[in-house]
Amino acid sequence: ASRNPSCVLCDTYMAKKNLELHDALIAVIGDEDTVTGMLLAGVGNIDARKASNFVIVDSKTSPGQIEEAFTRFTSRSDIAVLLINQYIATMIRPLLDAYESTTPAILEIPSKEHPYDPSQDAIHRRTKLLLGIRD
Instruction: Tell me how far apart the alpha carbons of residues 57 and 71 are, in angstroms, rounded to a whole number.
Output: 15
The residues facing 30 across adjacent strands are 56
Q: What is the pLDDT of residues 8-24, one digit of tens each?
A: 555 555 555 555 555 78
Q: What is the pLDDT of residues 92-125, one digit of tens each?
A: 999 998 998 888 999 999 999 988 887 777 777 7
In three-state secondary structure terms, 54 is strand
Are 89 and 31 a contacting pair, CB within 8 Å? no
Please, what is the average pLDDT of the chain?
Answer: 84
Are 34 and 109 a contacting pair, CB within 8 Å? yes
